Amino acid sequence: MKRGRKLKNKKQETERPPAGRTPGRAARYQARPPEGADGLNDADELNDADELDDADGLDEAATGWQQTTVKMAGLTRLATACIWALLLAGPAIGLFAVAVAGSSRAAPTTTAAPTADQPSATGPTGFAELYLAAYISAGEGTEDSLAPYYAEPVTLANKPGSRTATRIVTVAAQPVGKGYWAMTVAAQISAKGENGKTTDRGLHYFRVGVQVSGTPEAGGTAKPAKAGSKEALYAATSLPAEVNAPATAEHGDLTYGPGDGVSESDPVSDTVSRFIAAYLTGQGELNRYVSPGLRVTPIVPAPYAATLVTGLRDDQEEDGDSTDDDSIPADGTRRRVLATVSATSGGEDYLLTYALTLSTRDGRWEVAALDTAPALSAEQTGPVSGSASPTPSVAPSENSASPTDSAGD
């Protein structure tokens, strides 16, 4: 019998179980005396055989548990490996999902692509102003100062420095073609007379043709002048030409009434006067006259010593049945006003205009907004042609020469 052969194994007979462990079948049989030593009868042998069967059952059960533990450990390692695989594959799956979603939206994105960038006049404006300043102060022998702007050879007849530009500003930038601009530049000119005295010759206007190559953002052509170059290049196409001053214009109708629309007894007049005084002179508590939520602080340092509201217009229509001037409407009533202010500084009075929006709260008027510009009426939103003909700011004196004539153009 197989079990009998295991019991007679010498290795099993000599081995002892480790301390702390329940003795198994081999340990129990090591303590069994040799057969016939105590004259065991058949009944004892039968009992021993039953005990052997019970011990075998326990050992088999223990062996099965050990096998199950090994299997569970293997399954745990397998599950752990699967989890790590999923974690490592997560970013790749996410990128794949994004790519799929992006491809599904590819068609609408391409159709909604923006058009080419609009050209900007910033570069041509700066170039034209620098060119005009160099041109005005240039003269015989200093023609090279124009070379960075105008490449054609020029011969000037006036003395260098006979004129200077004390102020230059561009007033118009008109696109003529792709990468080509007509710039109108105003210059305040001072000139030296024969006695060497400098006099103000007034404001003159010049037109300059500026050609640009480079990126569309620079106001030039779509393709750079040189392959792979993103640098914008500018060049004047001629000497400046003096032109008339721009035509005058009148602003559109405003939403306010006549200049004397608000009387001094109206509570609005008192609120506006105190607000302006606190804002420009620092006198009084400014927050007392503003609505909650409006963040405005006095000008520091105070530019004026005193203020006086000389005119106040509002957007309220005249009505013969209107209430008295000292009445306050219900809370939340809004009113737009345009205030003309005489501000005093250094003994001189200067006129200013402020557009304000007022609102009622707790039985008083408060400034709800310091408007950025006067409000236009709904019917008129743009400038209209003026009735007067264009006039130059200052007429040149008899001894002054035209800039174009002095340039020998």
**Distance from C-alpha of 301 to C-alpha of 43, rounded to nearest angstrom:** 123
Report CA Rg, the chain. Answer: 50
Which pLDDT does position 237 carry in this prediction? Answer: 96
- Range 326-340 average pLDDT: 90
8 Å CB contact between 191 and 163: yes
Taking the CA atoms of 318, 324, 326 and 332 in sequence, report the sign of the dihedral they define.
negative
Which pLDDT does position 28 carry in this prediction? Answer: 46
The DSSP call for residue 265 is T
Taking the CA atoms of 266, 270, 273 and 276 in sequence, report the sign of the dihedral they define.
negative
- Whether the predicted pLDDT of 116 surpasses 60: no
Residue type, 92: A
Give φ, ψ of 311 to 5 degrees.
Answer: -155, 140
The first and second tokens of residue 44, run together, are: 């004892």
- Whether the predicted pLDDT of 225 surpasses 50: no
The first and second tokens of residue 218, run together, are: 């620079």
Model confidence pLDDT, tens digit, residues 300-317:
999 999 999 999 999 887
- Whether the predicted pLDDT of 393 surpasses 70: no
Model confidence pLDDT, tens digit, residues 237-287:
999 999 999 888 888 888 898 766 788 888 999 999 999 999 999 999 999
- Whether the predicted pLDDT of 65 surpasses 50: no
Per-residue 3-state assignment (H helix, E strand, C coil) for 4-32: HHHHCCHHHHHCCCCCCCCCCHHHHHHCC
**Upstream peptide bond of 91 is cis (omega within 30 degrees of 0):** no
Model confidence pLDDT, tens digit, residues 345-379:
999 999 999 999 999 999 999 999 999 999 988 87
- On average, the pLDDT of the chain sits at 75
Q: How many CA atoms lie within 13 A of 304 on its CB side?
A: 19
* pLDDT confidence band for 232 (50 / 70 / 90): confident
Model confidence pLDDT, tens digit, residues 134-149:
999 999 999 999 999 9
- Range 57-78 average pLDDT: 54
**Distance from C-alpha of 36 to C-alpha of 113, rounded to nearest angstrom:** 105
8 Å CB contact between 356 and 336: yes
- Whether the predicted pLDDT of 119 surpasses 80: no
With a pLDDT cut of 70, the percent of the chain lying above it is: 59
> Where are any strands of DSSP class E within 147-293?
163-177, 180-192, 198-213, 233-236, 241-243, 249-250
Which pLDDT does position 321 carry in this prediction? Answer: 42
Which pLDDT does position 395 carry in this prediction? Answer: 43
Highest mean pLDDT among 64-68, 72-76, 109-113: 72-76
> CA of 240: how far to CAs of 14, 92, 156, 243, in Å?
120, 64, 13, 9
* pLDDT confidence band for 193 (50 / 70 / 90): confident
Range list of H helices, 226-372? 267-281
* pLDDT confidence band for 214 (50 / 70 / 90): confident
The first and second tokens of residue 151, run together, are: 């490449």
Which has more pLDDT, 127 or 177?
Answer: 127
Whether pTM exceeds 0.75: no
- Range 47-64 average pLDDT: 48
* pLDDT confidence band for 187 (50 / 70 / 90): very high
- Whether the predicted pLDDT of 61 surpasses 70: no
Which pLDDT does position 265 carry in this prediction? Answer: 87
